[in-house]
Amino acid sequence: MAKQLLQGNEAICLGGLKAGMKFFAGYPITPASEIMHFLSKQKDFNFVHAEDEIAAINMIIGASLGGAKSMTATSGPGFSLKQEGIGLAHMMEVPVVVVDCQRVGPSTGMPTLGAQGDVLQAAHGSHGDIFPIVFCPNSVEECYKYTIEAFNAAEQSRSPVILITDTSVSHIYETVDIEEIDKKIKIQPRTLEPFGTGTRHFTGLAHDGDQPKTKDAENYRRWIQGTKKKQLKVAKDYTFYEYFGKKDSRTLLIAYGITSRVISPLKDAYAIFRPIRMFPILDELKIIAKDYKNIVVVEQNEGQYMHEVEALLKKDVKGIFIHGGSVSLSEVKEKLEILGL
């Protein structure tokens, strides 16, 4: 098949189907609704228009336990509602994929305009300590590719994996050569056997095997450290990033999603680092950043990733924060001048 003209959300659907997705549950919300529209028309596929976002996340957990690779998709308000279910999937070690097409918030916010305000929620949204793997594509091609990788990582880690986009990436149309991508990517088989293959017990309680352990501190400590170690080990297999531009510059710009595309023309004057696996935060960034006097994170929020980078590097990191659903190269240049860079 020749190159196809696809929307970002359509590419997410095709990536999921390629990965072996057999079940989707969701609730309509801008700018993610096209994912539901597309999948509702698929033959030999299990699709549920859920009554709400909470039902959708719990449905995909149940479907995954039943043997089907499963996904849901939403935006900010719905993503907030799904956090309890995401935590449940972590505790039960259930592989699912959650897509969050970010828009301006908080609350209903500006539904048709893009933002990057869910970054910290993607990593830390559920109560308790969880260590999700989070991917952030910046193109239609990457929407396809990293949806597949999200399913792969979910199966390998036995945990929910988050794919965050924004309105621009979800709604943009670009040509994609799916056959070329398929040649370079492998599909992770199911690791979780379905019900009917043996007696097992799944619970949101702290547990040891099939036994609830709600008062055993030592058991919980073993579980949390084991979970963290497993997540970090799996994440190393998904070390995706871009590093380009004027590498002998004194300044390193960090950006992700659509913002990374906006600043890419600055590559002749600055070095640019683009994390694709947003979390766990990349160790490679720590190594690369040592060569630069100035580190600047450009993002469509009030410095959510900047603070994560600052904690990683243990040095002062500057931020360019862009709000209101619109980001332009001229605005970034102006703010770099204000910073004296």
Tens-digit pLDDT profile for residues 35-52: 999 999 999 999 999 999
pTM for the model stands at 0.96
Report, at the CATH architecture level, how domain 4-184 is classified: 3-Layer(aba) Sandwich (3.40)
Name the phi and psi angles at 212, rounded to 5: -60, 140
pLDDT > 70 in the chain, percent: 98
pLDDT per residue over 220-237, tens digit each?
999 999 999 999 999 999
In 3D, which of 105, 224, 104, 234 has the Cα closest to residue 161?
A: 234
The two structure tokens encoding residue 323: 């709000």
Rounded Cα gap, residues 73 and 99, in angstroms: 4
H or E stretch at 6:
strand 4-7
H-state helical runs in the chain: 8-19, 33-40, 53-65, 76-81, 83-92, 119-124, 140-157, 167-171, 178-184, 217-235, 257-263, 283-289, 304-313, 329-338
Looking at residue 245, what is its pLDDT? 98
Give me the amino acid identity at 147. T
Taking the C-alpha atoms of residue 276 and residue 9, their distance in angstroms, rounded to an integer, is 17
What is the pLDDT at residue 321? 97
Highest CATH level, class, for 242-338: alpha beta
Interatomic CA distance for residues 117 and 304, integer angstroms: 7
Query: Phi and psi at residue 233, in whole multiples of 5°?
Result: -65, -45
Q: Kindly report the backbone phi and psi dihedral angles of residue 231, in degrees, each rounded to the nearest multiple of 5, phi listed first.
A: -60, -45
Residue stretches of the chain with pLDDT short of 70: 1, 194-196, 198-199
- Return residue ranges of the chain for CATH 3.40.50.920: 242-338
Q: What's the confidence (pLDDT) of residue 259?
A: 98
pLDDT of res. 1: 60
pLDDT at 202: 85
Residues present in the chain in total = 341
Q: How far is CA 225 from the centre of its chain?
A: 23
Domain with CATH 3.40.50.970 in the chain: 4-184
